[in-house]
Structure 1
C-alpha cells in the first residue's frame, strides 16, 4: 500500500473555493475509486488557510490513476490557482497492521 500526505496553503481570498473543489473531489474519489482506500482533506483549526490531505492507495498504479481521473484533472488547474505556494507532497509505505489488513475510507 502507498500513503500520500500533502500539505497546502491557500490564498485567503481563495480558501472557500478550495473547500468547495476539494469537497467535491472527495465525493468523486469515494464514489469511483475502489483502489483509493482513504482520501481525506482536512482544514487546520489554527489556520483556516492550511489544509492536509491523507491518501492511501492499494498500489502505485492506483495512486497514478487517481491523478488522471477526469474529475481530478478538471478541478486541478482551478485548485492549484487557489494555492499560496507549492504543495508539500510526501509518499510513504504503510507499516504494521494497516498494511496487512487494508484501510477503509
Structure 2
C-alpha cells in the first residue's frame, strides 16, 4: 500500500482523543494518559512517513526517541502526581490553586 491517508487518519483520531482527554478530564493521571495518546499519534506519523523516505530508518529512530521521552515523562509525571496527592490529598487540577512551601 503506497497511501499515507489511513495512517494519517488514525493518527489524527488518536491525537484528537488525547487532546480531548487533556482538555476535559479533571484528573492528573488521565491527563497524563492523554499526553501519551498524543505522543503515540506522532509516532504513527513518523513511522508512516519513514516508509516513503530515502532513509527509512530515520523515522523509526525518531519514534524510538519519542518512546524513550514518553517513558521518562511518565516516570517523572507519576512521581510528581504522587507527591501532589500526598501533600494536597487531591489530584484534581482545578482544586490545586495555590503553591505552598
Question: TM tier, shorter chain?
Answer: 0.3 to 0.5
More strand by share: 1
TM-score, with structure 1 as normaliser: 0.33
Structure of larger gyration radius: 2
More helix by share: 2
TM-score, with structure 2 as normaliser: 0.34
Higher relative contact order (CA 8 A, sep 6+): 1
